[in-house]
């Protein structure tokens, strides 16, 4: 530090608040209020390709990098569809003899047939439980594969 006293001299280039001891002076505290913000120009509506647009630098989500990162199997919707069709077909074939019993009873004379024996009843009664189990098993395996795939990609 120099002892010449130049530090206590008021410098007219700077406001009093930036001078030593200027912040404590009552005149320095009463400064002019800050000027208001200038009015912004009105926002123009975009008119085609001449409008400037800010674009992200990151790759787009539909790009090849995003497709390579997602381990989604394109056959997943088809597998779910097959499982649903198998369950629906199995449930229909399980209930078909009951649903169509009245139609067959009306089609054949009463003395000709005994209690409801349609020719396809034996095939339906064997196929319905198999189709139901196959459809439910397909859905369970698909859920298992999807959960394993999700667990492996989350790591």
Over residues 80-102, mean pLDDT: 89
* This prediction's pTM: 0.48
Domain that holds residue 87: 74-154
Residue 54 domain flag: no
Q: What is the pLDDT of residue 112?
A: 58
Q: What is the pLDDT of residues 33-78, one digit of tens each?
A: 777 788 888 776 656 555 566 766 665 566 555 555 556 788 899 9
Instruction: Please give the tally of structural domains in the chain.
Output: 1
Whether the per-residue pLDDT at 1 is higher than 50: the answer is no
Residue 32 domain flag: no
First and final C-alpha spacing in the chain: 62
Residue 87 domain flag: yes
Q: What is the pLDDT of residue 16?
A: 77
Question: DSSP state, 11?
Answer: P
Q: Where does residue 90 rank: exposed (0-12), middle (13-18), buried (19+ CB within 10 A)?
A: buried
Residue 37 domain flag: no
Residue 58 domain flag: no
């Amino acid at each position: 530090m120099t002892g010449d006293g130049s530090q206590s001299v008021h410098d007219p280039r700077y406001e009093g608040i930036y001078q030593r001891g200027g912040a404590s002076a009552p005149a320095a505290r009463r400064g002019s209020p800050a000027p208001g913000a200038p009015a912004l120009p009105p926002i123009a509506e975009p008119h085609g390709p001449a409008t400037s647009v800010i674009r992200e630098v990151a790759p787009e989500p539909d790009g090849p990098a995003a497709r390579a990162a997602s381990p989604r199997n394109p056959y997943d919707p088809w597998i779910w569809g097959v499982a649903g069709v198998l369950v629906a077909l199995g449930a229909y074939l399980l209930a078909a003899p009951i649903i169509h019993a009245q139609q067959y009873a009306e089609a054949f004379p009463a003395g000709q047939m005994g209690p409801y024996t349609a020719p396809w009843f034996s095939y339906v009664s064997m196929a319905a439980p198999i189709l139901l189990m196959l459809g439910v098993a397909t859905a369970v395996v698909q859920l298992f594969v999807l959960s394993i795939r999700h667990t492996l990609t989350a790591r």
